[in-house]
Amino acid sequence: MPELPAAYDVIVAGAGPGGSTTAAYLGQLGRRVLLIDKAQFPRDKTCGDALSGKSMRVVRELGLVEEVEKLPHGNIRGVTFSAPNRVSVSIPFQTSDPNRPGGSGYCLRRMHTDNLFFNAAKKTKNVTTMEKFQVNEVVFENGAAVGVKGIDLNDAKREERIFRAKVIVGADGVNSAVARSVLGEKAALDPAHSCDAVRAYYSGISGLTDQIEIHFVKATMPGYFWIFPMENGTANVGLGLVSKDLQAKMKKDKTNLLSMFDYILKDEPMFKERFANAKAISPITGWRLPFGSARRQLAGDGWVLVGDAASLVDPFSGEGVGNATASGRMAAQFIDEAIERNDVSKLSLGAYEVAVWEELGKELATSYKMQRLGRYEWLLNLVVNKAAKKPAVRELISASLSDEVAKKKFENPLTYVWLLLT
């Protein structure tokens, strides 16, 4: 088995938004990085394609906004919510949100988004990229991660190769081989803190606007159905349910995600007319979302996890690109400092884990509470009914889309008393 010398400071396994961000920032800091992915870019990733304000922060910092603008995308100016009682309300993005200048956001196919992030990393000085290489496991010495072992998918003999570095970053998504190596059984997903979702692209849906649509459909509660407008009148359409709820529903109602999705498009009164002339322009695909409401260890001796490998998806919105890039950005900073100290132990790299929970922990906890509250149909009906009638309620929801303090108000019982009385 050929073994190469420790030619790198950092190996990043997985070149999605999390891994490419980590590699780009580390390269900028002068660290020698090997960025590995088993796929060849451009590659697709099953997703809703909505780029949140948090994702746009890194897009902006990496100088990619102009490129995003040039690619086919949906221009988004707000969110339409509907409640199980079929009342809906449209909430505009705040024009003051610096990450959505002028109140405008994007829906961009992941095929494009991830290629942008990957190429930004590839162009960064000190970053070497390697596609079509599958990482199978982490190599340990005296309990510390010192390399990765895997196979070159172009090699007909499939001989195992080892690459060594001071720090190994697991950015290889929800089924992370790195997380399995470093965490063992603790890397298994908890069905109460993960979600199953399917999505397909459609053309010809009537009534598309410049808003993403999130619908809490009675028959598929407590899941949510989305329609995210893309370029040229197309849309990304999907349905997701917390895995535990889906398992219970499959048992009780003898159903599954695909038949629920089919039901909404063909039979649900709110949508059957809108989809009457719609055409699927892609196959329907499914994937899992690991929620940040279940905390896992994010750093150890010689290793760090980011993005889905770190289980950081927002448990209410299902948004994960923003936290993948935010964690990648932080990982780069703390890995750089640890290498500078010549100490890549758990204690040293653990500063990254502390910083992640400091920056994202409260927001993830609020989102988890909102996800739990969103299981009560009466509550969703109350909030959406009031928002449809009262500008003050719409303003609070609008603020909560970009401001954590406003979002936190939905945790406070007094907010619901206010809603009842307003």
Alpha-carbon span 237 to 140, nearest angstrom: 43
Strands (DSSP E) contained in 230-339 are 234-242, 279-280, 285-290, 299-300, 303-305
CB of 61 to ligand FAD, least distance (A): 16
Alpha-carbon span 260 to 267, nearest angstrom: 10
Beta carbon nearer to ligand FAD, 167 or 419:
167
Beta carbon nearer to ligand FAD, 225 or 410:
225
**Per the structure block, which two tokens stand in for 410?**
């939905």
CA distances from 332 to 245, 262, 310, 338 (A): 36, 43, 15, 10
Binding mask 3-32 for ligand FAD (x = CB under 6 A): ----------xxxxxxx-------------
Alpha-carbon span 169 to 114, nearest angstrom: 18
Beta carbon nearer to ligand FAD, 81 or 419:
81
Q: Tell which positions 128-187 bind ligand FAD, by CB under 6 A.
A: 134-135, 171-173, 177
Which residue has its beta carbon closest to ligand FAD? 320
The answer, yes or no, to whether the previous bond of 222 is cis (omega within 30 of 0) is yes
CB of 340 to ligand FAD, least distance (A): 25
DSSP symbol at 210:
S
CB of 421 to ligand FAD, least distance (A): 35
Decide if residue 321 touches ligand FAD (CB under 6 A). Answer: yes
Decide if residue 308 touches ligand FAD (CB under 6 A). Answer: yes
**What sign for the dihedral angle of Cα 36, 39, 43, 44?**
negative
CB of 240 to ligand FAD, least distance (A): 6
Tell me the angle at which helices 346-373 and 321-340 cross, rounded to the nearest 10 degrees: 160
Decide if residue 326 touches ligand FAD (CB under 6 A). Answer: no
Decide if residue 97 touches ligand FAD (CB under 6 A). Answer: no
Beta carbon nearer to ligand FAD, 357 or 416:
357
Q: Which amino acid type is present at position 210?
A: D
Beta carbon nearer to ligand FAD, 319 or 348:
319
DSSP symbol at 93:
P
Residues whose CB falls within 8 Å of the CB of residue 258, separated by 6 or more in sequence, listed in order: 198, 284
Decide if residue 324 touches ligand FAD (CB under 6 A). Answer: yes
Q: Of residues 11, 230, 313, 419, which one binds ligand FAD by CB under 6 A? A: 313
The answer, yes or no, to whether the previous bond of 42 is cis (omega within 30 of 0) is yes
Q: Of residues 46, 82, 115, 124, which one binds ligand FAD by CB under 6 A? A: 46
Alpha-carbon span 189 to 177, nearest angstrom: 13
Q: Tell which positions 193-222 bind ligand FAD, by CB under 6 A.
A: 197, 199
In this chain, which stretch among 33-41, 71-79, 351-359, 404-412 interacts with ligand FAD, using CB under 6 A? 33-41
CA distances from 239 to 52, 225, 236 (A): 19, 4, 10
Give the footprint of ligand FAD on this chain (CB under 6 A): 13-19, 36-39, 45-50, 52, 55, 134-135, 171-173, 177, 197, 199, 238, 287, 289, 307-308, 313, 318-322, 324
